[in-house]
């Protein structure tokens, strides 16, 4: 079997920044085990698989880390839409509608960015059972829980940026992952990082789903419905967020860095 595959840097305006995802545009269906094997082989935080459906403009989309299938991934959705527009699977003047484990996701192309319409992820203020007052030596100013993940607000953007994670300790005391965040600096409203060793991603460079939760979290505490966000990983990434009722618009760019084929 031969499958076309591309690697795309999402939430990036130049190569080797943002968050890389592999994208497979499938002419024929694959089994779940085959998708998982490809994701393990690519060894990126996520590999996305896109299939046509019987409805024009509607596509099936699934995401796999090197170890398991996940139910929502922002950067791999952005990467998939980018590559679909670039390769002719989708037309720039029409939105792409994805059927996913998290329901329908919509991506459209604007003059200078891609816009993704995602569900807002509710957050609830709660104290973590292990990281009650501090996280990696940094005081937790406030904390919140979301499905299978936690948010820890630290005292400054510099603390988020300079934090040194102990991935073994995080893995023992989390289900999926932990988001650290703080009020931003320079031109950014918020800073964040995401650690997910239990899903095969020790630190994710730029995390779309986390910002669906961060939009809820920060809108509760600031009253803002538009945020310019920076994920302070080594690669770094910029996102523009807008809250519309129970939806979040995530805006960003993407760059193709590799194209080829898999044979097995």
Query: Catalytic residues, which ones?
Result: 46
DSSP string, 1-55: -EEEEEEEEES-SSTT-SEEEEEEEESS---HHHHHHHHHHHTSS-EEEEEE-SS
Please list the residues that pair with 16 across neighbouring strands.
none
Tokens standing for residue 151 = 């948010």
Token pair of 196 as six digits: 């997910």
Q: What's the DSSP call for residue 255?
A: E
Cα separation, 176 vs 148, in Å, equals 5
Classify strands 58-64 and 96-100 as parallel, antiparallel or unpaired: parallel
DSSP structure string for 175-207: SSEEEEEEE--TT-SEEEEEEEGGGTEEEESS-
The sign one gets for the Cα dihedral 25, 20, 98, 116 is: negative
Residue 134 pairs in a beta bridge with 139
Largest Cα–Cα distance of the chain, in whole Å?
Answer: 53
Q: For residue 66, which of 41, 49, 48 has the smallest C-alpha distance? A: 41
Which residues pair with residue 183 across a beta bridge?
190
């Amino acid at each position: 079997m031969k499958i076309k595959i591309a690697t795309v840097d999402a939430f990036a305006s130049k190569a080797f920044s943002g968050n890389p995802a592999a994208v497979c545009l499938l002419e024929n269906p694959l089994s779940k085990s085959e998708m998982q094997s490809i994701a393990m082989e690519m060894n990126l935080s996520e590999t996305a698989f896109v299939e046509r459906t019987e409805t024009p403009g509607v596509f099936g989309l699934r995401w796999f880390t090197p170890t398991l299938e996940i139910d929502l991934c922002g950067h791999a959705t952005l990467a998939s839409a980018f590559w679909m527009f670039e390769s002719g699977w989708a037309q720039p003047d029409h939105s792409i509608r994805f059927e996913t484990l998290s329901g329908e996701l919509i991506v459209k192309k604007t003059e200078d960015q891609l816009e993704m319409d995602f569900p807002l992820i509710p957050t609830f203020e709660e104290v973590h059972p292990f990281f009650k007052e501090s996280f990696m030596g940094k005081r937790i100013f406030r904390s919140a829980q979301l499905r299978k993940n936690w948010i820890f607000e630290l005292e400054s953007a510099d603390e988020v940026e300079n934090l040194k994670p102990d991935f073994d300790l995080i893995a023992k005391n989390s289900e999926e992952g932990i988001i650290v965040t703080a009020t931003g600096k320079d031109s950014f409203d918020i800073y964040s990082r995401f650690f997910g060793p239990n899903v095969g991603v020790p630190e994710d460079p730029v995390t779309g789903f986390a910002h669906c939760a961060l939009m809820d979290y920060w809108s509760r505490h600031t009253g803002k419905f538009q945020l310019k966000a920076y994920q302070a990983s080594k690669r770094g990434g910029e996102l523009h967020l807008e809250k519309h009722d129970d939806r979040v618009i995530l805006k960003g760019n993407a760059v193709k860095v590799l194209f080829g084929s898999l044979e097995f």
